[in-house]
């Protein structure tokens, strides 16, 4: 007789674990880690100072309502702090949304090359992920709408999307929202919004502020340089935010993150410096890599998706191994349905220059 063992709920063991970007090159050598879209500028100096101050208060529970941080976010983005919920990374907010709105028998839609946390969150609560194909590695609103059924509870949309770097003009987001049933929650994941410089782009602040079924998620992990602290937030209708507050851990964000986040979001010059660095390098990296004969998907974020030739010795896994030998770590994106591409984060001047040079050698066949 087989022993009785604790068994996860149906579907949990069908979840493919999230595999983060590698942290090290071959033999532990890491010259440049460009695998997780972290900022080369690091966090604001005021955020680091606030983090250090938190060391004097570690025996105390954090402020479970995150009121100072919500006020700081509200001031920086012009939002009502009462309609903000903070979490341990925007990953936690995405899971809270799935927990509150998705259950067994429900469906939730994400796009073909969408962020892999969506299907994990959907399946975690017993839901079924439904994949909407993309067109030219870009969200296709009609493909999403064509997959809405009476079981659809949530649509997850990363705008800009990771790992493609493409974006949906906001008129298209509005068209999607207008055609969704009012009881379907539209999640606008704007993790890279601060980087985007396009007149037809909006992160979703106004829509999440006015519609009853739109929530926007944001992160401190990317442009604010606080990925190690795990901090993100969501903004949306009072009813949705109230639901998320009810199920979050009572102290889900630690004091160091609360203090550092509030300081980071108030440091506008630091953010602008990061945008300027990206604005300088994003077109340059795209241009240089294209000149090497690689195909680069036009990106509006702080990373580029690089497509490799379908030729022996020249494919993405070959390039990855070649770069790792030099201590340069990019992101394999096979799990995103892009086996012959690598994603490169825009890094420091040295990181970008050396990565371009290494890829030039790789394409030339240099040892």
Ligand X SMILES: Cc1ncc(COP(=O)(O)O)c(C=O)c1O
Binding interface with ligand X (CB under 6 A): 37, 89-91, 115, 158, 162, 189, 191, 219, 221, 227, 232
CA-closest candidate to residue 41, choices 302, 288, 356 = 302
Smallest distance, ligand X to C-beta of residue 219, A: 3
Query: Left if phi > 0, otherwise alpha if psi is -120 to 50, otherwise beta: which for 78?
Result: left
CB 111, min distance to ligand X, A = 11
For the purposes of burial, counting CB atoms within 10 Å of the CB of 254, is it exposed (0-12), middle (13-18) or buried (19 or more)?
Answer: middle
Record the tokens describing residue 293, joined without a space: 């004969």
Nearer to ligand X, 111 or 162 (CB): 162
- Least distance (Å) from ligand X to the CB of residue 91? 3
Q: Pseudo-torsion of CA 286, 290, 291, 293, nearest 10°?
A: 160
Contact criterion met (CB below 8 Å) for 326 and 318: no
Q: Among residues 21 and 25, whose Cβ is nearest to ligand X?
A: 21
Q: Which residues of 276-308 are buried (b: 16+ CB within 10 A; e: fewer)?
A: ebbeebbeebbebbeeeebebbbbbbbbbbbbb
Q: Rounded distance, CA 219 to CA 232, Å? A: 4
DSSP secondary-structure letter at 341?
E
| Closest CB to ligand X among residues 134, 189 | 189
Facing residues of 233 across strands? 86, 218
Nearer to ligand X, 127 or 232 (CB): 232
Nearest approach, Cβ of residue 114 and ligand X (Å)? 8
Q: CB nearer to ligand X: give 196 or 363.
A: 196
- For 136, 140, 338, the CA distances from 145, given in Å and listed in that order, are 18, 9, 24
Nearer to ligand X, 232 or 327 (CB): 232
**Using CA atoms, how far apart are residues 329 and 322, in angstroms rounded to an integer?**
10
Query: In this complex, which beta carbon is closest to ligand X, that of residue 203 or of residue 358?
Result: 203
The answer to whether 189 and 116 have CB atoms below 8 angstroms apart is no
CB of 160 to ligand X, least distance (A): 8
Q: Give the shortest CB-293-to-ligand X separation in angstroms.
A: 28
Residue written as token pair 């938190």: 54
Report, in Å, the least distance between residue 7 CB and ligand X. Answer: 29
CB closer to ligand X out of 154 and 363? 154
Question: Minimum Å distance from CB 56 to ligand X?
Answer: 26
Pair 362, 356: CB distance under 8 Å: no
CB 153 within 8 A of CB 128: no
Longest dimension (CA), the chain: 67
CB of 282 to ligand X, least distance (A): 16
Q: Do residues 173 and 161 lie in contact, with contact meaning Cβ atoms separated by under 8 Å?
A: no
Minimal CB distance to ligand X: which residue?
89
Closest to ligand X by CB, 115 or 362: 115
């Amino acid at each position: 007789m087989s022993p009785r063992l604790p068994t996860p709920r149906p579907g949990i063991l069908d979840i493919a674990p999230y595999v983060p970007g590698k942290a090290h090159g071959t033999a532990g050598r890491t010259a440049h880690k460009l695998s997780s879209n972290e900022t080369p500028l690091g966090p604001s100096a005021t955020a680091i100072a606030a983090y250090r101050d938190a060391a004097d208060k570690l025996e105390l529970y954090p402020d479970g309502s995150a009121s100072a941080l919500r006020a700081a976010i509200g001031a920086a983005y012009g939002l009502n702090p009462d309609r903000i919920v903070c979490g341990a990374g925007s990953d936690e907010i995405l899971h809270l949304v799935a927990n509150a709105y998705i259950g067994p028998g429900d469906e939730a839609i994400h796009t073909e090359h969408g962020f892999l946390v969506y299907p994990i969150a959907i399946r975690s609560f017993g839901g079924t992920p439904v994949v909407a194909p993309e067109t030219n590695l870009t969200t296709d609103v009609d493909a999403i709408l064509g997959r809405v059924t009476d079981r659809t509870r949530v649509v997850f949309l990363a705008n800009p999307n990771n790992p493609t770097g493409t974006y949906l003009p906001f008129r298209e987001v509005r068209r999607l929202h207008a055609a969704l049933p009012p009881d379907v929650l539209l999640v606008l994941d704007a993790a890279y919004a601060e980087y985007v410089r396009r007149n037809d782009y909006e992160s979703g602040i106004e829509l999440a502020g006015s519609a009853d079924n739109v929530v926007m998620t944001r992160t401190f992990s990317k442009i604010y340089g606080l990925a190690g602290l795990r901090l993100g937030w969501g903004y949306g209708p009072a009813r949705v935010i109230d639901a998320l507050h009810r199920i979050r851990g009572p102290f889900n964000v630690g004091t160091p993150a609360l203090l550092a986040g509030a300081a980071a979001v108030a440091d506008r010059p630091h953010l602008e410096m990061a945008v300027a660095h990206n604005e300088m390098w994003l077109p340059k990296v795209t241009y240089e890599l294209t000149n090497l004969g690689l195909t680069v998907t036009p990106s509006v974020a702080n990373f580029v998706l690089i497509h490799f030739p379908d030729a022996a010795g020249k494919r993405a896994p070959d390039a990855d191994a070649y770069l790792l030998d030099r201590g340069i770590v990019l992101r394999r994106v096979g799990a995103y349905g892009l086996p012959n591409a690598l994603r490169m984060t825009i890094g420091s001047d040295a990181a970008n220059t050396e990565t371009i040079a290494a890829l030039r050698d790789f394409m030339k066949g240099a040892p």
